[in-house]
Structure 1
Amino acid sequence: MSRVLVTGGASGLGAALVARFVAEGHQVLSTDVAAESAAPDGAQYRQLNVRDAADWDAAVAWCEENWGGLDILVNNAGIATGGRIDVESLDEWDRVVDINLMGVVRGCRAFTPVFKKQRSGHIVNTASAAGLVHPPMMSSYNTVKAGVVALSETLSHELHPYGVTVSVVCPSFFRTNLADSIQGDDTEMGASARRLIEKSPRTADEIAANVIAGIKKQQFLIIPDRPALLAWRTKRFARPLYDRQMRKIAARARDRAEAPQPSAEAAAGER
Protein backbone atom coordinates (compact mmCIF):
# COMPACT_ATOMS: atom_id res chain seq x y z
CA MET A 1 0.00 0.00 0.00
CA SER A 2 1.44 3.34 -1.08
CA ARG A 3 0.99 6.83 0.35
CA VAL A 4 -0.18 9.07 -2.50
CA LEU A 5 -0.72 12.83 -2.86
CA VAL A 6 -2.60 14.13 -5.93
CA THR A 7 -2.89 17.81 -6.83
CA GLY A 8 -5.89 18.98 -8.80
CA GLY A 9 -7.72 16.06 -7.23
CA ALA A 10 -11.17 17.63 -7.03
CA SER A 11 -12.10 17.13 -10.69
CA GLY A 12 -11.08 15.78 -14.07
CA LEU A 13 -8.09 13.48 -14.33
CA GLY A 14 -7.08 14.24 -10.75
CA ALA A 15 -10.39 13.00 -9.36
CA ALA A 16 -10.23 9.91 -11.57
CA LEU A 17 -6.72 9.13 -10.34
CA VAL A 18 -7.74 9.63 -6.71
CA ALA A 19 -10.68 7.23 -7.12
CA ARG A 20 -8.51 4.55 -8.75
CA PHE A 21 -5.75 4.83 -6.15
CA VAL A 22 -8.36 4.47 -3.39
CA ALA A 23 -9.98 1.49 -5.13
CA GLU A 24 -6.60 -0.25 -5.15
CA GLY A 25 -6.23 0.22 -1.40
CA HIS A 26 -3.70 3.05 -1.22
CA GLN A 27 -3.67 5.89 1.29
CA VAL A 28 -4.61 8.99 -0.71
CA LEU A 29 -4.52 12.72 0.01
CA SER A 30 -6.54 14.61 -2.59
CA THR A 31 -5.63 18.29 -2.83
CA ASP A 32 -7.00 21.23 -4.77
CA VAL A 33 -7.26 25.01 -4.61
CA ALA A 34 -10.73 25.00 -2.99
CA ALA A 35 -10.95 25.18 0.79
CA GLU A 36 -13.33 22.19 0.84
CA SER A 37 -14.14 19.47 -1.66
CA ALA A 38 -15.66 16.02 -1.65
CA ALA A 39 -13.24 13.10 -1.83
CA PRO A 40 -14.02 9.42 -2.36
CA ASP A 41 -14.50 7.29 0.73
CA GLY A 42 -11.03 6.23 1.82
CA ALA A 43 -9.33 9.45 0.68
CA GLN A 44 -8.59 12.59 2.63
CA TYR A 45 -8.76 16.14 1.31
CA ARG A 46 -6.55 19.16 1.91
CA GLN A 47 -6.48 22.60 0.34
CA LEU A 48 -3.31 23.17 -1.69
CA ASN A 49 -2.75 26.05 -4.08
CA VAL A 50 0.15 24.96 -6.27
CA ARG A 51 1.15 28.63 -6.68
CA ASP A 52 1.76 28.97 -2.92
CA ALA A 53 5.05 27.66 -1.52
CA ALA A 54 3.63 27.82 2.01
CA ASP A 55 0.83 25.43 1.02
CA TRP A 56 3.45 23.01 -0.29
CA ASP A 57 5.42 23.23 2.95
CA ALA A 58 2.23 22.51 4.90
CA ALA A 59 1.47 19.49 2.68
CA VAL A 60 4.97 18.08 3.32
CA ALA A 61 4.49 18.58 7.07
CA TRP A 62 1.09 16.86 6.93
CA CYS A 63 2.48 13.82 5.10
CA GLU A 64 5.38 13.48 7.51
CA GLU A 65 3.23 13.90 10.61
CA ASN A 66 0.37 11.63 9.50
CA TRP A 67 2.08 9.09 7.24
CA GLY A 68 5.74 9.36 8.08
CA GLY A 69 6.53 10.32 4.45
CA LEU A 70 5.16 9.88 0.94
CA ASP A 71 5.54 7.26 -1.79
CA ILE A 72 3.90 8.83 -4.87
CA LEU A 73 3.55 12.54 -5.65
CA VAL A 74 1.19 13.28 -8.56
CA ASN A 75 1.65 16.85 -9.83
CA ASN A 76 -1.59 16.99 -11.80
CA ALA A 77 -3.12 20.44 -11.22
CA GLY A 78 -3.29 22.65 -14.29
CA ILE A 79 -5.34 24.89 -16.54
CA ALA A 80 -6.09 25.04 -20.26
CA THR A 81 -4.94 27.99 -22.31
CA GLY A 82 -3.79 28.87 -25.77
CA GLY A 83 -3.83 31.52 -28.44
CA ARG A 84 -1.97 33.14 -31.28
CA ILE A 85 1.33 34.70 -30.26
CA ASP A 86 0.21 38.24 -31.15
CA VAL A 87 -3.21 37.87 -29.50
CA GLU A 88 -2.72 36.05 -26.20
CA SER A 89 -1.72 38.50 -23.48
CA LEU A 90 1.47 38.39 -21.44
CA ASP A 91 -0.68 38.26 -18.30
CA GLU A 92 -2.13 34.97 -19.53
CA TRP A 93 1.39 33.70 -20.23
CA ASP A 94 2.36 34.57 -16.66
CA ARG A 95 -0.72 32.75 -15.32
CA VAL A 96 -0.18 29.50 -17.18
CA VAL A 97 3.56 29.44 -16.50
CA ASP A 98 2.94 29.95 -12.78
CA ILE A 99 0.32 27.19 -12.55
CA ASN A 100 1.21 24.56 -15.15
CA LEU A 101 5.01 24.77 -14.96
CA MET A 102 6.02 26.43 -11.70
CA GLY A 103 3.28 24.55 -9.84
CA VAL A 104 5.02 21.32 -10.84
CA VAL A 105 8.43 22.77 -9.98
CA ARG A 106 7.21 23.76 -6.51
CA GLY A 107 5.83 20.28 -5.89
CA CYS A 108 9.05 18.58 -6.96
CA ARG A 109 11.16 20.94 -4.86
CA ALA A 110 8.96 20.48 -1.80
CA PHE A 111 8.99 16.68 -1.74
CA THR A 112 12.45 15.90 -3.14
CA PRO A 113 14.10 16.23 0.32
CA VAL A 114 11.56 13.72 1.68
CA PHE A 115 12.28 11.26 -1.14
CA LYS A 116 16.04 11.69 -0.80
CA LYS A 117 15.85 11.00 2.93
CA GLN A 118 13.71 7.91 2.33
CA ARG A 119 15.86 6.75 -0.60
CA SER A 120 12.58 6.04 -2.37
CA GLY A 121 9.64 7.74 -4.02
CA HIS A 122 7.91 8.24 -7.35
CA ILE A 123 7.14 11.63 -8.92
CA VAL A 124 4.38 11.66 -11.54
CA ASN A 125 4.03 14.90 -13.51
CA THR A 126 1.01 15.48 -15.74
CA ALA A 127 2.11 17.18 -18.95
CA SER A 128 0.20 16.71 -22.22
CA ALA A 129 0.61 15.50 -25.77
CA ALA A 130 1.29 19.22 -26.30
CA GLY A 131 4.54 18.68 -24.44
CA LEU A 132 5.68 16.32 -27.22
CA VAL A 133 4.00 17.75 -30.34
CA HIS A 134 3.42 21.46 -30.81
CA PRO A 135 0.37 22.56 -32.81
CA PRO A 136 0.10 26.20 -33.90
CA MET A 137 -1.95 28.73 -31.89
CA MET A 138 -0.98 27.02 -28.63
CA SER A 139 2.35 28.67 -27.83
CA SER A 140 1.86 29.15 -24.10
CA TYR A 141 0.34 25.72 -23.45
CA ASN A 142 2.91 23.92 -25.61
CA THR A 143 5.74 25.77 -23.89
CA VAL A 144 4.76 24.95 -20.32
CA LYS A 145 3.93 21.33 -21.09
CA ALA A 146 7.24 20.85 -22.94
CA GLY A 147 8.86 22.35 -19.85
CA VAL A 148 7.19 19.74 -17.66
CA VAL A 149 8.54 16.99 -19.92
CA ALA A 150 12.05 18.48 -19.75
CA LEU A 151 11.88 18.88 -15.98
CA SER A 152 10.70 15.29 -15.59
CA GLU A 153 13.50 13.89 -17.73
CA THR A 154 16.06 15.95 -15.82
CA LEU A 155 14.80 14.69 -12.47
CA SER A 156 14.61 11.09 -13.68
CA HIS A 157 18.41 11.21 -13.99
CA GLU A 158 19.15 13.54 -11.08
CA LEU A 159 17.16 11.56 -8.52
CA HIS A 160 17.98 8.05 -9.77
CA PRO A 161 20.95 7.67 -7.36
CA TYR A 162 18.48 8.22 -4.49
CA GLY A 163 16.12 5.47 -5.61
CA VAL A 164 13.52 7.97 -6.84
CA THR A 165 11.67 7.31 -10.12
CA VAL A 166 9.88 9.84 -12.31
CA SER A 167 7.04 9.56 -14.82
CA VAL A 168 5.55 12.17 -17.13
CA VAL A 169 2.00 11.78 -18.44
CA CYS A 170 1.18 13.03 -21.96
CA PRO A 171 -2.48 12.53 -22.95
CA SER A 172 -4.33 14.11 -25.85
CA PHE A 173 -7.78 15.69 -25.42
CA PHE A 174 -10.25 13.85 -23.22
CA ARG A 175 -13.59 14.83 -21.69
CA THR A 176 -13.18 16.85 -18.53
CA ASN A 177 -14.06 20.25 -17.09
CA LEU A 178 -10.62 21.58 -18.07
CA ALA A 179 -12.23 23.86 -20.66
CA ASP A 180 -13.81 25.86 -17.83
CA SER A 181 -10.34 27.19 -16.95
CA ILE A 182 -9.80 28.76 -20.38
CA GLN A 183 -9.38 32.51 -20.23
CA GLY A 184 -7.49 35.04 -22.30
CA ASP A 185 -7.88 37.37 -25.23
CA ASP A 186 -7.85 34.82 -28.05
CA THR A 187 -11.46 33.75 -27.68
CA GLU A 188 -11.53 32.00 -31.07
CA MET A 189 -8.73 29.63 -30.08
CA GLY A 190 -10.32 29.13 -26.68
CA ALA A 191 -13.58 28.09 -28.31
CA SER A 192 -11.72 25.63 -30.55
CA ALA A 193 -9.99 24.06 -27.55
CA ARG A 194 -13.30 23.73 -25.73
CA ARG A 195 -14.83 21.88 -28.68
CA LEU A 196 -11.90 19.45 -28.85
CA ILE A 197 -12.14 18.70 -25.12
CA GLU A 198 -15.91 18.34 -24.96
CA LYS A 199 -16.24 16.22 -28.13
CA SER A 200 -13.44 13.78 -27.30
CA PRO A 201 -14.57 10.13 -27.11
CA ARG A 202 -12.16 9.50 -24.22
CA THR A 203 -13.05 9.88 -20.53
CA ALA A 204 -10.89 10.91 -17.61
CA ASP A 205 -11.38 7.48 -16.04
CA GLU A 206 -10.05 5.72 -19.17
CA ILE A 207 -6.96 7.94 -19.15
CA ALA A 208 -6.50 7.40 -15.40
CA ALA A 209 -6.57 3.61 -15.81
CA ASN A 210 -3.74 3.78 -18.35
CA VAL A 211 -1.78 6.22 -16.20
CA ILE A 212 -2.00 3.91 -13.17
CA ALA A 213 -0.79 1.01 -15.33
CA GLY A 214 2.20 3.08 -16.44
CA ILE A 215 3.01 4.07 -12.87
CA LYS A 216 3.01 0.43 -11.80
CA LYS A 217 5.52 -0.33 -14.56
CA GLN A 218 7.57 2.72 -13.53
CA GLN A 219 7.48 3.98 -17.11
CA PHE A 220 9.09 7.35 -17.66
CA LEU A 221 6.94 8.44 -20.61
CA ILE A 222 3.28 7.52 -20.18
CA ILE A 223 1.25 8.21 -23.33
CA PRO A 224 -2.20 6.95 -22.27
CA ASP A 225 -4.20 7.16 -25.50
CA ARG A 226 -3.82 6.25 -29.16
CA PRO A 227 -4.18 9.74 -30.74
CA ALA A 228 -1.37 11.10 -28.58
CA LEU A 229 0.82 8.10 -29.39
CA LEU A 230 0.18 8.44 -33.14
CA ALA A 231 0.96 12.16 -33.10
CA TRP A 232 4.22 11.57 -31.23
CA ARG A 233 5.27 8.76 -33.57
CA THR A 234 4.40 10.85 -36.65
CA LYS A 235 6.64 13.65 -35.43
CA ARG A 236 9.49 11.24 -34.66
CA PHE A 237 9.35 9.02 -37.73
CA ALA A 238 7.48 10.99 -40.42
CA ARG A 239 8.53 14.56 -39.80
CA PRO A 240 7.59 15.91 -43.27
CA LEU A 241 4.03 14.58 -42.82
CA TYR A 242 3.87 16.08 -39.33
CA ASP A 243 5.04 19.47 -40.60
CA ARG A 244 2.46 19.46 -43.40
CA GLN A 245 -0.33 18.69 -40.94
CA MET A 246 0.72 21.49 -38.58
CA ARG A 247 0.99 24.01 -41.42
CA LYS A 248 -2.44 23.09 -42.75
CA ILE A 249 -3.88 23.85 -39.32
CA ALA A 250 -2.09 27.20 -39.31
CA ALA A 251 -3.27 28.04 -42.84
CA ARG A 252 -6.91 27.31 -41.94
CA ALA A 253 -6.59 29.58 -38.90
CA ARG A 254 -5.14 32.34 -41.09
CA ASP A 255 -8.00 32.01 -43.55
CA ARG A 256 -10.59 32.26 -40.78
CA ALA A 257 -8.86 35.28 -39.25
CA GLU A 258 -8.59 37.11 -42.58
CA ALA A 259 -12.05 36.25 -43.92
CA PRO A 260 -14.20 39.36 -44.52
CA GLN A 261 -16.63 39.95 -41.68
CA PRO A 262 -20.21 40.95 -42.49
CA SER A 263 -21.02 44.58 -41.84
CA ALA A 264 -23.37 45.52 -39.03
CA GLU A 265 -25.99 46.49 -41.59
CA ALA A 266 -25.74 43.15 -43.38
CA ALA A 267 -25.90 41.25 -40.12
CA ALA A 268 -29.01 43.20 -39.13
CA GLY A 269 -30.58 42.43 -42.52
CA GLU A 270 -29.95 38.71 -42.07
CA ARG A 271 -31.79 38.78 -38.78
Structure 2
Amino acid sequence: MSRRTKHADAVVTGAGSGIGRAFATEIARRGGRVVCADLDETRAKETVTRIEAAGGEAIAVGCDVSELGQVEALQGTAVDWLGRSPSLVVNNAGIGAGGKVVGEAPLADWQRTLGVNLWGVIHGCHVFAPALRELGHGGIVNVASAAGFTAAPRMAAYNVSKAGVVSLSETLAAELAGTGIAVTVLCPTFVKTNIFDGELIDAGAAGLARKIARVAGFSADRVARTTLDAHDKGRLYVVPQLDAQLLWRTKRLLPVPYTRAAGLMGRFVPEEETR
Protein backbone atom coordinates (compact mmCIF):
# COMPACT_ATOMS: atom_id res chain seq x y z
CA MET A 1 0.00 0.00 0.00
CA SER A 2 1.31 3.43 -0.96
CA ARG A 3 1.53 6.10 1.72
CA ARG A 4 1.10 9.11 -0.56
CA THR A 5 -0.90 10.96 2.13
CA LYS A 6 1.92 10.66 4.68
CA HIS A 7 4.27 13.67 4.76
CA ALA A 8 2.44 15.05 1.74
CA ASP A 9 2.85 18.58 0.46
CA ALA A 10 -0.82 19.34 0.01
CA VAL A 11 -3.29 21.93 -1.25
CA VAL A 12 -6.82 21.73 0.12
CA THR A 13 -9.59 23.99 -1.21
CA GLY A 14 -12.56 24.87 0.94
CA ALA A 15 -10.26 24.29 3.92
CA GLY A 16 -11.94 26.89 6.12
CA SER A 17 -14.63 24.55 7.46
CA GLY A 18 -16.31 21.18 7.24
CA ILE A 19 -14.77 18.38 5.20
CA GLY A 20 -12.06 20.69 3.85
CA ARG A 21 -10.88 21.61 7.34
CA ALA A 22 -10.97 17.93 8.30
CA PHE A 23 -8.83 17.01 5.28
CA ALA A 24 -6.32 19.76 6.08
CA THR A 25 -5.96 18.82 9.75
CA GLU A 26 -5.73 15.09 9.00
CA ILE A 27 -3.05 15.61 6.34
CA ALA A 28 -1.10 17.74 8.82
CA ARG A 29 -1.54 15.04 11.47
CA ARG A 30 0.07 12.62 9.03
CA GLY A 31 3.12 14.87 8.86
CA GLY A 32 2.20 16.88 5.80
CA ARG A 33 2.48 20.57 5.03
CA VAL A 34 -0.83 22.09 3.98
CA VAL A 35 -1.86 25.07 1.90
CA CYS A 36 -5.36 25.86 3.22
CA ALA A 37 -7.36 27.67 0.54
CA ASP A 38 -10.82 29.11 1.06
CA LEU A 39 -13.05 31.86 -0.30
CA ASP A 40 -13.14 33.14 3.28
CA GLU A 41 -9.48 33.64 4.15
CA THR A 42 -10.35 34.32 7.80
CA ARG A 43 -11.75 30.81 8.13
CA ALA A 44 -8.71 29.39 6.36
CA LYS A 45 -6.52 31.14 8.94
CA GLU A 46 -8.57 29.53 11.71
CA THR A 47 -7.76 26.12 10.21
CA VAL A 48 -4.08 27.07 10.06
CA THR A 49 -4.19 28.09 13.73
CA ARG A 50 -5.56 24.67 14.65
CA ILE A 51 -2.89 22.90 12.64
CA GLU A 52 -0.08 24.97 14.11
CA ALA A 53 -1.40 24.46 17.64
CA ALA A 54 -1.02 20.73 17.04
CA GLY A 55 2.55 21.18 15.82
CA GLY A 56 1.86 21.15 12.08
CA GLU A 57 2.78 23.47 9.22
CA ALA A 58 0.21 25.33 7.13
CA ILE A 59 -0.59 28.63 5.42
CA ALA A 60 -3.89 30.25 4.50
CA VAL A 61 -4.73 31.53 1.03
CA GLY A 62 -7.89 33.29 -0.11
CA CYS A 63 -9.19 31.69 -3.31
CA ASP A 64 -12.41 31.64 -5.30
CA VAL A 65 -12.08 28.34 -7.15
CA SER A 66 -14.67 29.38 -9.73
CA GLU A 67 -12.06 31.84 -11.07
CA LEU A 68 -9.24 30.17 -13.03
CA GLY A 69 -6.83 33.02 -12.38
CA GLN A 70 -7.21 32.62 -8.63
CA VAL A 71 -6.53 28.88 -8.82
CA GLU A 72 -3.44 29.57 -10.91
CA ALA A 73 -2.32 32.08 -8.28
CA LEU A 74 -2.98 29.45 -5.60
CA GLN A 75 -0.62 27.07 -7.37
CA GLY A 76 2.06 29.75 -7.51
CA THR A 77 1.70 30.49 -3.80
CA ALA A 78 1.85 26.78 -2.99
CA VAL A 79 5.05 26.26 -4.99
CA ASP A 80 6.66 29.32 -3.41
CA TRP A 81 5.83 28.20 0.14
CA LEU A 82 6.49 24.50 -0.30
CA GLY A 83 9.59 24.99 -2.43
CA ARG A 84 8.20 22.53 -4.97
CA SER A 85 4.93 21.42 -6.54
CA PRO A 86 2.38 19.92 -4.15
CA SER A 87 2.12 16.14 -4.23
CA LEU A 88 -1.50 15.98 -3.05
CA VAL A 89 -4.41 18.15 -4.16
CA VAL A 90 -7.83 17.97 -2.51
CA ASN A 91 -10.47 19.74 -4.62
CA ASN A 92 -13.06 20.08 -1.91
CA ALA A 93 -14.56 23.59 -2.15
CA GLY A 94 -18.29 23.45 -2.72
CA ILE A 95 -21.66 25.01 -1.95
CA GLY A 96 -25.08 23.52 -1.30
CA ALA A 97 -28.09 24.18 -3.50
CA GLY A 98 -31.61 22.82 -3.60
CA GLY A 99 -35.29 23.14 -2.88
CA LYS A 100 -36.76 24.00 -6.30
CA VAL A 101 -37.66 21.92 -9.34
CA VAL A 102 -36.11 22.40 -12.77
CA GLY A 103 -37.66 25.45 -14.40
CA GLU A 104 -38.25 27.20 -11.09
CA ALA A 105 -34.68 27.26 -9.78
CA PRO A 106 -33.11 30.54 -11.00
CA LEU A 107 -30.45 30.17 -13.67
CA ALA A 108 -28.19 32.33 -11.51
CA ASP A 109 -28.29 29.53 -8.91
CA TRP A 110 -27.31 27.03 -11.60
CA GLN A 111 -24.42 29.21 -12.70
CA ARG A 112 -23.08 29.77 -9.18
CA THR A 113 -23.46 26.10 -8.20
CA LEU A 114 -21.73 24.81 -11.32
CA GLY A 115 -19.13 27.57 -11.07
CA VAL A 116 -17.97 26.45 -7.64
CA ASN A 117 -18.83 22.75 -7.45
CA LEU A 118 -17.89 21.70 -10.99
CA TRP A 119 -15.74 24.42 -12.53
CA GLY A 120 -13.84 24.74 -9.25
CA VAL A 121 -12.80 21.09 -9.52
CA ILE A 122 -12.12 21.43 -13.25
CA HIS A 123 -9.85 24.39 -12.53
CA GLY A 124 -8.06 22.46 -9.78
CA CYS A 125 -7.43 19.47 -12.02
CA HIS A 126 -6.48 21.64 -15.01
CA VAL A 127 -3.92 23.61 -13.02
CA PHE A 128 -2.42 20.92 -10.79
CA ALA A 129 -2.57 17.73 -12.90
CA PRO A 130 0.25 18.77 -15.29
CA ALA A 131 2.55 19.54 -12.34
CA LEU A 132 1.73 16.15 -10.79
CA ARG A 133 2.54 14.44 -14.09
CA GLU A 134 5.89 16.20 -14.07
CA LEU A 135 6.44 15.22 -10.44
CA GLY A 136 5.71 11.58 -11.30
CA HIS A 137 3.90 10.71 -8.08
CA GLY A 138 1.16 11.93 -5.76
CA GLY A 139 -2.57 12.19 -6.02
CA ILE A 140 -5.78 14.14 -6.50
CA VAL A 141 -8.85 13.79 -4.29
CA ASN A 142 -12.04 15.29 -5.71
CA VAL A 143 -15.01 15.77 -3.39
CA ALA A 144 -18.28 14.92 -5.12
CA SER A 145 -21.40 13.59 -3.39
CA ALA A 146 -23.83 10.71 -3.47
CA ALA A 147 -26.09 13.33 -5.07
CA GLY A 148 -24.01 12.78 -8.19
CA PHE A 149 -25.64 9.39 -8.72
CA THR A 150 -28.80 9.47 -6.59
CA ALA A 151 -30.32 12.35 -8.59
CA ALA A 152 -32.85 13.29 -5.91
CA PRO A 153 -35.66 15.66 -6.97
CA ARG A 154 -35.37 19.41 -6.28
CA MET A 155 -31.56 19.28 -6.33
CA ALA A 156 -30.84 19.43 -10.05
CA ALA A 157 -28.02 21.99 -10.07
CA TYR A 158 -26.25 20.31 -7.16
CA ASN A 159 -26.79 16.84 -8.64
CA VAL A 160 -25.44 17.87 -12.03
CA SER A 161 -22.39 19.55 -10.50
CA LYS A 162 -21.48 16.48 -8.47
CA ALA A 163 -22.18 14.03 -11.31
CA GLY A 164 -19.74 16.08 -13.36
CA VAL A 165 -17.09 15.75 -10.65
CA VAL A 166 -17.54 11.96 -10.66
CA SER A 167 -17.18 11.80 -14.44
CA LEU A 168 -14.16 14.11 -14.42
CA SER A 169 -12.51 11.97 -11.75
CA GLU A 170 -13.11 8.77 -13.70
CA THR A 171 -11.68 10.32 -16.85
CA LEU A 172 -8.64 11.71 -15.05
CA ALA A 173 -8.01 8.36 -13.36
CA ALA A 174 -7.96 6.70 -16.79
CA GLU A 175 -5.61 9.34 -18.17
CA LEU A 176 -3.23 8.99 -15.22
CA ALA A 177 -3.28 5.19 -15.05
CA GLY A 178 0.24 3.83 -14.74
CA THR A 179 1.80 7.22 -13.97
CA GLY A 180 2.11 6.79 -10.21
CA ILE A 181 -0.59 9.42 -9.62
CA ALA A 182 -3.80 8.25 -7.96
CA VAL A 183 -7.25 9.82 -8.30
CA THR A 184 -9.98 9.36 -5.72
CA VAL A 185 -13.52 10.72 -5.77
CA LEU A 186 -15.47 11.02 -2.53
CA CYS A 187 -19.24 10.48 -2.68
CA PRO A 188 -20.81 10.84 0.78
CA THR A 189 -24.43 11.35 1.72
CA PHE A 190 -24.97 13.43 4.87
CA VAL A 191 -21.95 14.83 6.69
CA LYS A 192 -22.14 17.05 9.76
CA THR A 193 -20.90 20.31 8.21
CA ASN A 194 -22.17 23.82 7.52
CA ILE A 195 -22.95 23.17 3.84
CA PHE A 196 -26.66 23.30 4.61
CA ASP A 197 -26.29 26.97 5.57
CA GLY A 198 -25.65 28.02 1.97
CA GLU A 199 -27.68 30.84 0.48
CA LEU A 200 -28.75 28.68 -2.48
CA ILE A 201 -30.64 26.16 -0.33
CA ASP A 202 -34.27 26.87 0.51
CA ALA A 203 -34.81 27.18 4.25
CA GLY A 204 -37.16 24.20 4.38
CA ALA A 205 -34.86 21.90 2.42
CA ALA A 206 -31.89 23.00 4.52
CA GLY A 207 -33.78 22.31 7.74
CA LEU A 208 -34.71 18.82 6.61
CA ALA A 209 -31.13 18.08 5.57
CA ARG A 210 -29.79 19.27 8.94
CA LYS A 211 -32.19 16.97 10.78
CA ILE A 212 -31.06 13.96 8.77
CA ALA A 213 -27.38 14.87 9.17
CA ARG A 214 -27.75 15.16 12.95
CA VAL A 215 -29.26 11.69 13.18
CA ALA A 216 -27.43 9.74 10.47
CA GLY A 217 -24.56 11.89 9.26
CA PHE A 218 -20.88 11.03 9.62
CA SER A 219 -18.44 13.49 11.13
CA ALA A 220 -16.19 15.36 8.70
CA ASP A 221 -13.13 13.96 10.47
CA ARG A 222 -14.28 10.39 9.91
CA VAL A 223 -14.97 11.04 6.23
CA ALA A 224 -11.57 12.66 5.71
CA ARG A 225 -9.69 9.81 7.41
CA THR A 226 -11.60 7.18 5.46
CA THR A 227 -10.97 8.95 2.17
CA LEU A 228 -7.25 9.46 2.71
CA ASP A 229 -6.82 5.84 3.77
CA ALA A 230 -8.64 4.73 0.62
CA HIS A 231 -6.51 7.07 -1.49
CA ASP A 232 -3.39 5.40 -0.06
CA LYS A 233 -4.80 2.08 -1.28
CA GLY A 234 -5.35 3.49 -4.77
CA ARG A 235 -9.13 3.35 -4.64
CA LEU A 236 -11.01 5.46 -7.16
CA TYR A 237 -14.40 5.58 -5.42
CA VAL A 238 -15.04 6.32 -1.76
CA VAL A 239 -18.68 5.85 -0.80
CA PRO A 240 -18.32 5.93 2.98
CA GLN A 241 -21.85 5.47 4.29
CA LEU A 242 -24.06 2.41 4.10
CA ASP A 243 -27.04 4.38 2.77
CA ALA A 244 -24.91 5.76 -0.07
CA GLN A 245 -23.64 2.27 -0.91
CA LEU A 246 -27.16 0.86 -1.00
CA LEU A 247 -28.42 3.71 -3.19
CA TRP A 248 -25.46 3.32 -5.56
CA ARG A 249 -26.03 -0.40 -6.01
CA THR A 250 -29.81 -0.03 -6.38
CA LYS A 251 -29.43 2.69 -9.00
CA ARG A 252 -26.98 0.56 -11.00
CA LEU A 253 -29.04 -2.63 -10.81
CA LEU A 254 -32.54 -1.15 -11.12
CA PRO A 255 -32.21 2.28 -12.74
CA VAL A 256 -35.80 2.71 -13.94
CA PRO A 257 -37.57 1.53 -10.75
CA TYR A 258 -35.10 3.57 -8.70
CA THR A 259 -35.88 6.77 -10.60
CA ARG A 260 -39.64 6.23 -10.27
CA ALA A 261 -39.31 5.57 -6.55
CA ALA A 262 -37.16 8.68 -6.07
CA GLY A 263 -39.77 10.77 -7.85
CA LEU A 264 -42.62 9.39 -5.76
CA MET A 265 -40.73 9.95 -2.53
CA GLY A 266 -40.00 13.52 -3.58
CA ARG A 267 -43.70 14.19 -4.03
CA PHE A 268 -44.48 12.96 -0.52
CA VAL A 269 -42.09 15.42 1.14
CA PRO A 270 -44.28 17.98 2.96
CA GLU A 271 -44.53 21.21 0.99
CA GLU A 272 -43.23 23.33 3.87
CA GLU A 273 -40.05 21.25 3.87
CA THR A 274 -39.23 22.06 0.23
CA ARG A 275 -40.20 25.70 -0.18
TM-score by length of 1: 0.87
Q: Does 1:14 align with 2:20?
A: yes
2:138 is aligned to: 121
**Conserved in 2, the CA contact under 8 Å of 1:175 and 1:200?**
no
Q: How many residues align?
A: 255
Q: 2:122 and 2:256 mapped to 1: Cα distance? A: 34
Q: 1:177 and 1:190 mapped to 2: Cα distance? A: 10
Q: Does 1:160 align with 2:212?
A: no
1:256 is aligned to: 271
Residue 62 of structure 1, aligned match among 77, 81, 98: 77
Q: 1:27 and 1:243 mapped to 2: Cα distance? A: 44
Residue 179 of structure 1, aligned match among 196, 202, 211: 196
> Does the residue aligned with 2:200 lie in a helix, a strand or coil?
coil
Once the two structures are aligned, what percentage of the paired residues are identical? 33
Residue 47 of structure 1, aligned match among 38, 62, 70: 62
Greater Rg by CA: 1
Q: Does 1:136 align with 2:130?
A: no
Residue 208 of structure 1 and its aligned partner are, at CA, apart by 1.4
Residue 44 of structure 1 and its aligned partner are, at CA, apart by 2.2
> Does the residue aligned with 1:137 lie in a helix, a strand or coil?
coil
Residue 238 of structure 1 and its aligned partner are, at CA, apart by 4.0
Q: Which amino acid aligns with 1:63?
A: A
Q: 1:173 and 1:245 mapped to 2: Cα distance? A: 20
**Conserved in 2, the CA contact under 8 Å of 1:33 and 1:49?**
yes
Residue 139 of structure 1 and its aligned partner are, at CA, apart by 0.8
1:28 is aligned to: 34
> Does the residue aligned with 2:218 lie in a helix, a strand or coil?
coil
Q: 2:134 and 2:228 mapped to 1: Cα distance? A: 25
Matches within 5 A, 1:69-148: 69-82=85-98, 83-148=100-165
Q: 2:111 and 2:209 mapped to 1: Cα distance? A: 20
Q: How far does the alpha carbon of each residue in 1:160-181 deviate from its partner, in whole angstroms, 9 at most, with x for none?
A: 2543221110000111111111
1:149 is aligned to: 166
> Does the residue aligned with 1:143 lie in a helix, a strand or coil?
helix
Q: Which amino acid aligns with 1:79?
A: I
Q: 1:105 and 1:153 mapped to 2: Cα distance? A: 13
Q: How far does the alpha carbon of each residue in 1:105-136 deviate from its partner, in whole angstroms, 9 at most, with x for none?
A: 01111112211211223111000001122111
1:231 is aligned to: 247
Residue 78 of structure 1 and its aligned partner are, at CA, apart by 0.2
> Does the residue aligned with 1:132 lie in a helix, a strand or coil?
helix
2:4 is aligned to: none
**Conserved in 1, the CA contact under 8 Å of 2:41 and 2:61?**
yes
> Does the residue aligned with 1:88 lie in a helix, a strand or coil?
coil
What runs of 5+ residues in structure 1 fail to find an aligned partner?
Answer: 258-271
Residue 221 of structure 2, aligned match among 199, 202, 205: 205
**Conserved in 1, the CA contact under 8 Å of 2:41 and 2:60?**
no
Q: Which amino acid aligns with 2:35?
A: L
Q: How far does the alpha carbon of each residue in 1:176-199 deviate from its partner, in whole angstroms, 9 at most, with x for none?
A: 111111426x55434433433444
